[in-house]
Amino acid sequence: MTQKKDPVRSQQITLDNHQLTLYFCDIPPDTNQQNEFIQANSHFLSPHLASAAPKRQAEFIAGRLASGKALEALGLRNQIVPSNADRSPQWPENVVGAISHKVNLATAAVSRQFDMLGLDLETTFTDATIQRISRKIINENEQRVLLASPLPYSFAFTQVFSAKETLYKAIYPFVRKYLGFDTSEVVDISENFVVLMLRKDVAKKTPCEALFKIHTIETEGHILTLTAQSSQR
């Protein structure tokens, strides 16, 4: 009998001398494959997505498969991460984590070592998309930082968008409310990181200071941003 292949794979990375493992799961690209994937893993699906399109259901399940494998590495076996009332992931006690998905890939990471953890997965935005959403994402000062960077503008803009999403996920358990992209501002950017300054009134609600270094990794055709922070207070 052929052994069923594990759909989740891992990649270990180093963040400021700390090891963290990312878990990835492919999202089936077409409806027939998505339906098979959903049927095989229906126990991972949240009730609020019972009537959602197959693509959305498959995205959710892939994220839960990745997060379940991440929790297993912490010794927490057979864990299905439920959703809070606000649809955010409900992590086990003393565990922080984050899930993201884009196109045909989902990723997750968890930790007991850090107090805040966020990640986001994107594909590089087109020029048309950047033109359409730019004013909602960055201000004039941030645009000058991006233009002064040697990075291709489309890459830098996508990186900043993703970094702000990552920071939002990291701070959400402490603020528990929607925050706009103007909540943080780009201070510095390179190929490997974005430095964001969190608005002070928001930062004081978190266990960390206002300055956040958001790491950038290019993986499997995606831009992945990630931050993991320990308490600084």
Residues comprising the binding site?
56, 64, 100-101, 120, 122, 165, 169, 179
Which structure tokens are listed for 60?
């959710």
Pairing of strands 96-102, 211-219: unpaired
The annotated binding site for Mg(2+) is made up of 120, 122
Note the helical H segments in 41-152.
Answer: 54-73, 127-137, 140-148
Q: Which long-range contacts (CB under 8 A, 24 or more apart) does 3-11 make?
A: 6/69, 7/62, 7/65, 8/65, 8/66, 8/68, 8/69, 10/69, 10/73, 11/219
CA distance 156 to 102: 18
Sequence letter at residue 75: G
CA–CA gap between residue 58 and residue 26 (Å, rounded): 9
Position 177, amino acid: K
Q: Nearest CA to 184 among 173, 176, 192, 169?
A: 169
Which residues are known binding-site members for CoA?
56, 64, 100-101, 120, 165, 169, 179
Burial class (CB in 10 A: 0-12, 13-18, 19+), 162: buried
Nearest to 224 by CA among 8, 5, 20: 20
**Three-state secondary-structure class, residue 141:** helix
